[in-house]
Amino acid sequence: EPEVTQTPSHQVTQMGQEVILRCVPISNHLYFYWYRQILGQKVEFLVSFYNNEISEKSEIFDDQFSVERPDGSNFTLKIRSTKLEDSAMYFCASSVAGRQPQHFGDGTRLSIL
């Protein structure tokens, strides 16, 4: 069964550095999402992406965040200048259409030192 893949599984970065989290959505899916889960808290929506542009973003997704689909298969989340509070598990998801269930990757654990 096709699945969403995320790399790396764990990323350790110094505060203030840029980090790029990578995702390969399921190939025939058109909608892409990033969520994050701070340790012990709920999964929170960050951003959705469709037709090569952001569809919606939460208040968490401020100017330090950006997303890109650089080619036909990858979907990336960039955090420009990381802060301690960015430490979390970041999940990528994709869906075939806007109202279809989202399929999640296994996540990238981001640790900011």
Partner 1 sequence: AQSVTQLGSHVSVSEGALVLLRCNYSSSVPPYLFWYVQYPNQGLQLLLKYTSAATLVKGINGFEAEFKKSETSFHLTKPSAHMSDAAEYFCAVSDQTGANNLFFGTGTRLTVIP
Signed CA dihedral, 107, 82, 21, 45: sign only: positive
Q: Candidates 14-22, 42-50, 65-73, 74-82 — which segment interacts with partner 1 by CB under 8 A?
A: 42-50
Could you say whether residue 18 binds partner 1 (CB under 8 A)? no
Tokens of residue 53, six digits: 């542009």
In whole angstroms, give the CA distance from residue 5 to residue 12.
19
Q: Which of 21, 88, 94, 105 binds partner 1 (CB under 8 A)?
A: 105
Tokens of residue 20, six digits: 């790029």
The site for partner 1 (CB under 8 A) is made up of: 4, 6, 31, 33, 35, 41-45, 48, 50, 55-56, 91, 93, 95, 98-107
